[in-house]
Amino acid sequence: DTAVSQTPKYLVTQMGNDKSIKCEQNLGHDTMYWYKQDSKKFLKIMFSYNNKELIINETVPNRFSPKSPDKAHLNLHINSLELGDSAVYFCASSTVNTGELFFGEGSRLTVL
């Protein structure tokens, strides 16, 4: 039973399109994150939600809009995709106390 699952695993799309990535965790954690890993393998935080409330919003274009319908789900919608958005996007969750992150397997986005 997967702890943090995200779908789809792969997305290939054209510039200008809109796409969404979904994430669900069954660990009972109260905090969820989106991280972006670029081609150089740097892993950078984009957003963090605690109990459905946005608590971290790094310098990310407003074309990226996270939504948390409940504390077990965190989705990422991206409008008007650009070539530079190509990356692997990881969802993660944690308890606010430990900070230990549990990651999903990633969603590889390729923008052509």
Cβ(15)–Cβ(112) below 8 Å: yes
Candidate list 11, 23, 48, 74; residue touching other proteins; CB under 8 A? 48
In the complex, least distance from residue 61 CB atom to other proteins, rounded to whole angstroms = 19
Longest dimension (CA), the chain: 41
In the complex, least distance from residue 23 CB atom to other proteins, rounded to whole angstroms = 11
In the complex, least distance from residue 105 CB atom to other proteins, rounded to whole angstroms = 5
Smallest CA-to-CA distance from 92 within 107, 82, 102, 84 is with 102
- Which 8-state DSSP code applies to residue 3? S
Query: How far is Cα 17 from Cα 26, in angstroms, rounded to an integer?
Result: 31
For position 106 contacting other proteins by CB under 8 A, the verdict is yes
Report the interface residues with other proteins, using CB under 8 A: 4, 31, 33, 40-45, 48, 55-56, 90, 92, 94, 96, 98-106
